Amino acid sequence: MLTTAREADELVESAQFPMPKQKAQYGFVEVSMRHGDFALVALAGMVSEHSVQLGVGGVADRPWVETLPSGSGDDLDAALEDLAWKLDAQDDQHASARYRRHLVRNLGKKLITELSVGLKQS
């Protein structure tokens, strides 16, 4: 945990990030015990006209990115419920798996809803 796959005799020499899509909204939210601590759950979202992507960190043994249906209401709730269970969260000394799944569902819905509203206004 909290390490890379880089070996002791290796050096990271570059990183690539995709250009932001036009007509898309991006957002990030996290929950931690104290400001500046590692996140119990971190969510990064991208909503465009045709897709919703949600990246989740702090729940599973590695970050996870999921493409969700671009819907709202019950469809979004069901997709977030499936994702929360797919991540195979585990209890640890900081938070229970149940609490982490709760955060994925609730913060995920809030983030996606806010980004969808922002997309409609742009």
pLDDT of residue 19: 85
Residues in the chain: 122
- Quote the crossing angle between the two packed helices 74-86 and 97-121, to the nearest 10°: 140
Q: Give me the residues of the chain with pLDDT under 50, please.
A: none
pLDDT of residue 53: 95
pLDDT of residue 2: 65
Amino acid 36 reads G
Where do the structural domains in the chain lie, given as residue ranges?
24-121
Kind plus residue range of the DSSP H or E element containing 119: helix 97-121
What homologous superfamily is domain 24-121 in, according to CATH? CO dehydrogenase flavoprotein, C-terminal domain (3.30.390.50)
pLDDT of residue 1: 62
Taking the C-alpha atoms of residue 89 and residue 19, their distance in angstroms, rounded to an integer, is: 31
